[in-house]
Chains A and B, each alone.
Chain A
Amino acid sequence: MKTFLKAATLALSLGASTLAMAEPVKIGLITTLSGGGAGLGVDTRDGFMLAIKQSGNKDVTVITEDDAQKPELAVQIADKMIQSDEVDILTGIVWSNLLMAVVPGAVAQGKIYVSTNAAPAALAGEKCDPLYFNAAYQNDNLHEAMGEYANKGYKKMFIMAPNYPAGKDSLTGFKRYFKGAVANEVYTQVGQTDYAAEIAQIRASGADGVFAFLPGGMGIAFMKQYAQSGVKIPVMGPGFSFSQDVLPAIGDAALGAKASGQWAKDLDNAANKKFVPAFEKEYGRLPSIYAVQAYDAAQLILSAASKASVKDTAAFTAELKKADIQSPRGKFKFNTNRHPIQDIYVTEVVKDGGVLTNKIIEKIFTDHGDAYAQACKK
């Protein structure tokens, strides 16, 4: 009898703990930790790990690997993580071209992918997948917001983006909302460091505004060169062009630039007030948008894992889709195509206590989804 009781208590307590935490979850985080794009990947990793650390959850293991911003390497790592590490969930890829190389194969093998950044149009519409979630946005979103913003006071825009999937999504998104004329549409090389030729075209274009989507080092180079060129046409861009990882390197040349974002450091909500100081304390720098997106991706996975077993893919993705988290962005929910519905803001680069940062000036979209959701039938 005594042993039976003991066994029963043990079974009960085990049962209770299984309820609280369904099963160990193994996550493969593939991101860019070396080369020019490493700043973005480091913020992705750090944001993700902050949420895991805060949860104190011992059943979650994260394996991190560097993709060096190379698609072929990302695919190899994903295969290795799926086949020999036997991860349940993949996440972390920053770049759309890498994501396009990894996601179709991963979901075909029954693995869940939660994107922390890249969100190409190709995976948001007809080719969406029940196992592919995006915790960031759809690529077009922030560009659409700038198109809408440019309607207020700009008649002729010069628009520019790198020649890769997200760059094309960018200019498509901008033009979807912008009603004025496009003076010129320029695609630059990915990783380009000299923008003299483009700046000369801007000068000659007669545009009254410039929209530039140039993430990472590309934006740094462009803004510094633009400031020296004597061209005074105002510059705007999606949040990536002026995010926290590049602002210190651009310096005062970025002051006054307008950008769009679904998050900013000064956003007024309880989760954000907790997140920003926690990130600063942990890593000694301000978080960027990539850190927030990864933080939310980790929160989403943790929240689903606390309610369903990751081995039961249907139940787990159903829980993921509920998006039961406190996001530093404020409101956050998933659309029918498992991409976010969220508010989007316009920010301005200001100097706050000697540090360059983005400050919200207005809300441009409320509960904004994306243009591809209707096409997603899965």
Chain B
Amino acid sequence: MTFALAIEQLLNGVQLGVMLFLMAAGLTLIFGVMGLINLAHGSLYMVGAFACATVAAFTGSFWLGLVASLAASAAAGALIEITVIRRLYARDHLDQVLATFALILIFSEGMRWLFGSFPLYLDIPPLLEGAVALPGGAQYPLYRLAIILAGALVALGLYGLISRTRLGMRIRAGESDREMIAALGVDIRTLYTLVFALGAALAGFAGGMVGALQSVQVGMGEPVLILAFVVIVIGGIGSIKGALIGALLVGVVDTMGRLLLPQVLSLMVPPAQAGLIGGALASMLIYILMAVILAVKPRGLFPAQA
């Protein structure tokens, strides 16, 4: 394995991690503040991707599409918070899982009804096309670098929002004691809607950006949702910092596993077998990682104060 390949794979891992962070941040924020398990988070990611593809096709501008993905998913998030989610805070997790699972089905079939069963076309903006040379002779797609940068900016912004602003203060207060901040006169309903819309917007933003790299289709959110759950379990449910570390860990371990496992195995068994077994093992790797971390730290790496 060459140095260039190692660098490229490391970047790939980081890029996957950054995407997962955008998903996991919203998920963990919603769980941390409202105590809600939101399975429909993947649907908001899909809403973002569809909004981006539709607006980009209509106006010809990917950037407008990206703005639309933020707006549409935040709006969809606020809408379901007010109509459905709000009724679930006081109920137990099983009810929440059932209701948000129903939302997945409603969103999926609604999207199919609106856009049809065939994948939509969404391309990378001309500004970010092609690959750039990296030190060490590696080449890397410019768009993926842009995703890493955007993700890093969002992480910084989120940190600033939560640690430096009044809204952030309320979010932190909500995380540590929900009843108390309501008793102190904070408008908890609006706060919940805002937090939910913020989480949804992050998911939609991820959907819009990733949509240009893969196919924009119904059901695209669920595989990412599962990974995002793995991330927040590893990072400690409710912790933004945990989500960031967990996402990067999952991204890098997954990418490196897909590369290294078949190579290591090919030293022992024929290449065709190594590819098969290695591929199967690589897809299990992050779950093994999760199991190991939970065995050592049952509440994740950075458990939020309960």
Contact = CB atoms under 8 A, between A and B. Distances in A.
Interface string B237-249: 0000000000000
A220 B112 CA distance: 18
- Pick the most buried of A34, A168, A248, A285: most chain B CB atoms within 10 A of its CB: A34
Nearest to B280: A163
B156 interface: no
A204 B2 contact: yes
A127 B112 CA distance: 38
A249 B120 contact: yes
Contacts of A204: 1-2, 4-5
Contacts of B15: 196
A287 B5 CA distance: 40
Given A198-B258, A230-B131, A34 B5 contact: no
Contacts of B131: 228-230
Given A220-B119, A228-B141, A196 B272 contact: no
Contacts of B272: 171, 185
B112 A34 contact: yes
Size band of the B side of the interface?
A: 35 or more
Q: Is the interface of B mostly helix, strand, loop or mixed?
A: helix
B133 to A, nearest CB: 9
Place the interface of chain A in its size category. Answer: 35 or more
A210 B272 CA distance: 16
Contacts of A41: 117
Given A197-B259, A217-B214, A189 B279 contact: yes
Interface string A225-263: 100111100000000000001101111000000000000
A187 B112 CA distance: 30
Interface in A164-206: 168, 171, 182, 184-189, 191, 193-194, 196-198, 200-201, 203-204
Given A34-B109, A194-B16, A249 B119 contact: yes
Most chain B beta-carbon contacts within 10 A, residue among A188, A193, A245: A193
B119 A197 contact: no
B139 A203 contact: yes
A39 B119 contact: yes
Contacts of A186: 262, 275, 279
Interface of B: 1-2, 4-5, 8-9, 12, 15-16, 108-109, 112, 117-121, 123-124, 129-131, 139, 141-144, 210, 212-220, 223-224, 255, 258-259, 262, 271-272, 275-276, 278-280, 283
